[in-house]
């Protein structure tokens, strides 16, 4: 069964919905209501009545309408009975929030849950999860924060606590999300199947994954299936528990086999997955993928108003194997006209500290129209003569008629932070340092190579 | 001559002070006034009169009082004459903002400037700089932002534009600064001499340096002298222009010899300098040094409310060679009492997602009193049951009676960002990710080893 109805349900039942604001069954229902889910919502609670202004049902079986998705928040010892009722009702997806299954030694309960689901043709997300979200349909079926910024990043996480914490963080960081999926025990739906669905999802531009471990023996399938995903969408992954002690911590935490870090690294590389070292790096890269089309080539130019940040970006480019192009004398002559005599038209192109927005925009126009350049990294150091928010606005305007990837690295204080937010909201991936801007372009170029390699091998 | 009077002047003259708000000579004078310099301030301007409410003098020679420091902002072709007058006046330090010297091919002008200074026993900072600051005496003699957060980090920079941009950034990031020195052409005062002075400065807890290149032939002296600095204070450095293309960019930018990245790396290691890869990393580490005493040992424990961040921190610890201690069964038994039955008293100590501030504080008390533990990393994932600002306040309170280094890594949205700011203002180095918290402790442990190695070798 396709996962389409999980992400595009016409109706959702919250089983275990509660009137008590601190209960998970209440928070999830409230998030669904507040975030503006447009489909039908059915609270299910043995006492029935009304919850958050919605008519509540004693059992899922009492709902007259069809139910696509049932969010289950009842205690563990009630889950199997509820699942059975959902099956009889013809529910398509069980999203089992409840914990107390294989992660707590209750493998038998989890096995029976899946058995019931199979018997009725239902699919199971979870158990032991904080829910899921899909912003294009205004679904926030999590007990995390109410607000989620919409965008092109989908995120799958094996850690619930981290996932919820990152919901708030992505909102603050202007990282636009499409799907957000808590994986939990992966009793049925797993990383591979969800990734394959999202690879065809038109709202997902990049898939990010926080992974603790795969099930024993599933490595080969993982590599082969993820290759197919990578042909359609970039996948960025962070693997927790790569160290010796970390793998022990993972084992005690999720019960999954952590395996050696080296083995995982090799598998990710083979599959064409981009492996990030830190959470910040993963979302830095995802930001670029979510806002930009894939580069057509690797010839990159750096545009700056400060020599220092230009040099730092140059170092980062070499470190990440980003090809910095040498402009021809024709191109250099054109660029020279956008800067004072002591500027530099070499790469990095240094407009000097006296640069105003016009200098940047003129240089950008020349670079956009040059057939020597594929990608542009624009750097800015806070100066007295150029307000960062003004520059950001001009760059956003200029970008509208540009086809080449444009990535920004701005350094400075509060007003620079404001400029960065503004660009991230308006299609220019922007970072508070030159190195992070370069690293994100590097990830895009690496993905392009992965994809070409996979294409030529198949 | 000691540099004491440069950082502790009784009087400063700004030569080239101007009534026009956009002129550098105006901005520097205004910053000095607004930031609250308590000594005497003398604007010098050929038209005399009054500037910013201060009596202006036609020449430095007209000032009746002694002048410790002269900030020179006059055009390049006037600098030598002004320097000569300063010499006759008995000025002790020339801070030459003006550019147009060796960096622009005018080596002769720079040579003569230094010659004049030598003749009169003056020392020169610059030329080609944005100024300097020293917060303990409320000196902001820069044309950067007016506000600088006071604290224990001193920063020396060879890039002016980056230095100014970072002034705003450090303020936003709650990074407290002691001295801030724009190095410029280093015609006289250089990195080594300023570092040696700051090594004895009681307000400087850590020295950070943005370096593009040393003068040819000065490498050996640099290593030997910096070793002496490292015995007193940690030095964190970022070397720009380590890549092949980056070194060319540096040469065109500052005219200094960039040299191979590998040679520099070896030199830094020999000297005991901590080399950071990015600006962010440099100040992450500096934050820890500025707020904490040096660890007494390397036995580290991680305290968390989320398994996922615990695992990420564990991986980072192994990567950075931070020794995670195995708690004895006695210690584990004590810790077990601070958490629910499904928590973990191993390292990372997992208080679980249900943890409230009391759980953290109780566990901290046990760890502070245990002779098995030297350092504590406290992690937090945003949960519904524990407000991050509340937790931050409790940690700040608890820290007051603690002697062991405490470093925080908090993950979440706006309220977590607020908690991080609060901790950084109140003596707990705090970071928005587990990896950065671990990396900063690792830098402290590395410095400790560097220092021990240098001590045993001497």
Q: Is residue A62's pLDDT more than 60? A: yes
**Residue A304 · residue A343 · CB < 8 Å:** no
Reduced to 3 states, what is the DSSP secondary structure of residue B145?
Answer: coil
Beta strands in B252-374 (DSSP E): 274-275, 300-304, 349-350
B284 touches chain A (CB under 8 A): no
Predicted pLDDT at B277: 94
**Residue A79 · residue A98 · CB < 8 Å:** yes
Q: What mean pLDDT, rounded, does chain A reach? A: 95
Predicted pLDDT at A365: 97
Which residue out of B76, B97, B142, B249 would a mutagenesis test of the A interface target, given it has the greatest number of A Cβ atoms within 10 Å?
B249
Cβ neighbours of B22 in A, within 8 Å: 384
- Give the list of residues 6+ apart from residue A358 with CB closer than 8 angstroms, or none: none
Burial of B185 (C-beta count, 10 Å sphere; 0-12/13-18/19+): buried
Q: Which residues pair with A377 in a beta bridge?
A: A302, A407
Range name among A217-226, A245-254, B41-50, B183-192 with the lowest pLDDT average: A245-254
Distance between CA A285 and CA A436 in Å, rounded?
9
Helix (H) or strand (E) holding B237: strand B235-239
Q: Please answer yes or no on whether B245 and A318 come within 8 Å at the CB atom.
A: yes
Phi-psi region of B409 (alpha: psi -120 to 50; beta: other; left: phi over 0): beta
Q: Is residue B255's pLDDT more than 70? A: no
Taking only the tens place, the pLDDT of each residue in A330-373 is 999 999 999 998 899 999 999 999 999 999 999 999 999 999 99
Taking only the tens place, the pLDDT of each residue in B118-132 is 999 999 999 999 999
For residue A354, what is the DSSP state? Answer: T
Predicted pLDDT at B254: 55
Predicted pLDDT at B288: 98
- Please tell me the distance in Å from B170's CA to the nearest CA on chain A: 7
Q: Write down the architecture of domain A295-450 according to CATH.
A: 3-Layer(aba) Sandwich (3.40)
- According to CATH, where is 3.40.50.261 located in chain B? 4-288, 294-450
**Residue from A280, A432, A286 nearest B439 by CA:** A280
Cβ neighbours of B382 in A, within 8 Å: 164-165, 168
B212 touches chain A (CB under 8 A): yes
- Please tell me the distance in Å from A367's CA to the nearest CA on chain B: 20
Chain centroid, CA A76 distance in Å: 30
Taking only the tens place, the pLDDT of each residue in A126-139 is 999 999 999 999 99
Q: Please answer yes or no on whether B344 and A164 come within 8 Å at the CB atom.
A: no
Q: Which residue of A has its CA nearest to B103?
A: A342
Predicted pLDDT at A252: 62
pLDDT-derived band of residue A200, with 50, 70 and 90 as boundaries? very high
Beta strands in B382-427 (DSSP E): 406-411
Structure tokens at A13: 């039942």
Cβ neighbours of A162 in B, within 8 Å: 306, 308-309, 312, 381, 411
- Please tell me the distance in Å from B99's CA to the nearest CA on chain A: 12
Structure tokens at A204: 């997902």
**Residue from B166, B130, B161 nearest B148 by CA:** B166
Distance between CA A271 and CA A233 in Å, rounded?
12
CATH number of A4-288: 3.40.50.261
Q: Please answer yes or no on whether A311 and B240 come within 8 Å at the CB atom.
A: yes
- According to CATH, where is 3.40.50.261 located in chain A? 4-288, 295-450
CA distances to A159, A187, A254 from A240, rounded to whole Å, are 10, 20, 11
Tell me the percentage of chain A whose pLDDT exceeds 90.
90
CB pairs under 8 A between A and B: 228
B412 touches chain A (CB under 8 A): yes
Q: CA dihedral in degrees (B248, B252, B256, B257; nearest 10)?
A: 20
CA distances to B25, B105, B239, B250, B257 from B214, rounded to whole Å, are 29, 18, 10, 11, 6
Distance between CA B275 and CA B264 in Å, rounded?
10
Q: Please answer yes or no on whether A318 and B243 come within 8 Å at the CB atom.
A: yes
Distance between CA A438 and CA A136 in Å, rounded?
30
**Residue A235 · residue A226 · CB < 8 Å:** yes
Taking only the tens place, the pLDDT of each residue in A262-304 is 888 999 999 999 999 999 999 999 999 999 999 999 999 999 9
Q: Which residues pair with A210 in a beta bridge?
A: A157, A238
Predicted pLDDT at A256: 53
Q: Please answer yes or no on whether B384 and A27 come within 8 Å at the CB atom.
A: yes
A427 touches chain B (CB under 8 A): no
Q: Describe chain A by its helix, strand, coil percentages, rounded to 5.
A: 45, 20, 35
Structure tokens at A315: 């170092």
Q: CA dihedral in degrees (A131, A132, A135, A139; nearest 10)?
A: -60
Distance between CA B334 and CA B366 in Å, rounded?
7
Instruction: Choose the most confident range, by mean pLDDT, from A82-96, A252-266, B204-218, B341-355.
Output: A82-96
- Please tell me the distance in Å from A259's CA to the nearest CA on chain B: 13
Of B162, B308, B433, the CB nearest to A381: B162
Chain centroid, CA A269 distance in Å: 19
Of A143, A169, A241, the CB nearest to B412: A169
Q: Which residue of A has its CA nearest to B343?
A: A253
Of A164, A254, A311, the CB nearest to B212: A311
Of B143, B279, B312, the CB nearest to A240: B312
Taking only the tens place, the pLDDT of each residue in B385-433 is 999 999 999 999 999 999 999 999 999 999 999 999 999 999 999 999 9
Structure tokens at A121: 């043709």
**Residue from B281, B321, B333, B324 nearest B303 by CA:** B324
**Residue from A189, A147, A159, A221 nearest A5 by CA:** A189
Q: What mean pLDDT, rounded, does chain B reach? A: 95
Q: Is residue B298's pLDDT more than 60? A: yes
Predicted pLDDT at B259: 60
- Give the list of residues 6+ apart from residue A219 with CB closer than 8 angstroms, or none: A259, A263, A267
Cβ neighbours of B415 in A, within 8 Å: 168
Phi-psi region of B52 (alpha: psi -120 to 50; beta: other; left: phi over 0): left
> Which has the higher per-residue pLDDT, B341 or B416?
B416
Cβ neighbours of B174 in A, within 8 Å: none
C-alpha radius of gyration, chain B, whole number? 25
B341 touches chain A (CB under 8 A): no
Q: What is the CATH T-level fold of the domain B294-450, as seen in this structure?
A: Rossmann fold (3.40.50)
Reduced to 3 states, what is the DSSP secondary structure of residue B327?
Answer: coil
Q: Is residue B1's pLDDT more than 70? A: no
Distance between CA B410 and CA A164 in Å, rounded?
13
Which residue out of A23, A27, A158, A249 would a mutagenesis test of the B interface target, given it has the greatest number of B Cβ atoms within 10 Å?
A249
Q: Please answer yes or no on whether A246 and B315 come within 8 Å at the CB atom.
A: yes
Predicted pLDDT at B359: 97
Distance between CA A288 and CA B316 in Å, rounded?
25
Q: Is residue B256's pLDDT more than 60? A: no
């Amino acid at each position: 069964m396709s996962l389409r109805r999980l992400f595009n349900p016409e109706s959702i039942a919250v089983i275990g919905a509660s009137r008590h604001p601190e209960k998970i069954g209440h928070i999830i229902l409230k998030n669904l209501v507040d975030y503006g889910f447009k489909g039908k919502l059915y609270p299910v609670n043995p006492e029935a009545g009304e919850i958050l202004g919605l008519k509540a049902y004693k059992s899922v079986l009492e709902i007259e309408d069809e139910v696509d998705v049932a969010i289950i928040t009842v205690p563990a010892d009630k889950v199997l009975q509820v699942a059975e009722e959902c099956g009889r009702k013809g529910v398509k997806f069980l999203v089992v929030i409840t914990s107390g299954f294989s992660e707590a030694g209750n493998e038998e309960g989890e096995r029976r849950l899946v058995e019931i689901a199979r018997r009725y043709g239902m699919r199971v997300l979870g158990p032991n999860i904080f829910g899921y979200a899909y912003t294009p349909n205004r679904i926030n079926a999590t007990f995390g924060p109410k607000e989620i910024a919409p965008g092109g990043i989908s995120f799958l996480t094996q850690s619930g606590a981290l996932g919820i914490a990152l919901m708030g963080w992505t909102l603050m960081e202007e990282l636009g999300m499409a799907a957000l999926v808590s994986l939990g025990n992966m009793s049925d739906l797993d990383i591979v199947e969800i990734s394959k669905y999202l690879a065809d999802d038109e709202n997902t531009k990049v898939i990010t994954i926080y992974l603790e471990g795969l099930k024993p023996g599933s490595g080969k399938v993982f590599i082969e299936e993820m290759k197919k995903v990578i042909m359609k969408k970039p996948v960025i992954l962070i693997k927790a528990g790569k160290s010796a002690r970390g793998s022990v911590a993972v084992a005690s935490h999720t019960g999954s086999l952590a395996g050696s870090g080296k083995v995982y690294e090799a598998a990710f590389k083979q599959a064409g997955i981009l492996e990030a070292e830190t959470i910040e790096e993963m979302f830095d890269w995802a930001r670029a993928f979510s806002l930009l089309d894939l580069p057509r080539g690797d010839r990159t130019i750096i545009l700056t108003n400060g020599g220092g940040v230009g040099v730092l970006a140059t170092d980062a480019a070499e470190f990440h194997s980003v090809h910095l192009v040498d402009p021809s004398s024709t191109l250099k002559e054109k660029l020279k006209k956008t800067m004072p005599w002591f500027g530099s038209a070499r790469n990095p192109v240094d407009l000097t500290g006296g640069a105003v927005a016009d200098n940047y925009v003129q240089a950008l126009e020349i670079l956009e129209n040059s057939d020597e350049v594929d990608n542009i990294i624009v750097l800015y150091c806070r100066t007295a003569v150029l307000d960062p928010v003004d520059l950001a606005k001009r760059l956003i305007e200029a970008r509208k008629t540009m086809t080449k990837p444009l990535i920004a690295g701005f350094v400075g204080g509060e007003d620079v932070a404001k400029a960065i937010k503004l660009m991230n909201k308006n299609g220019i991936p922007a970072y508070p340092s030159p190195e992070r801007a370069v690293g994100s372009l590097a990830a895009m170029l690496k993905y392009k190579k992965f994809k070409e390699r996979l294409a030529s091998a198949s």
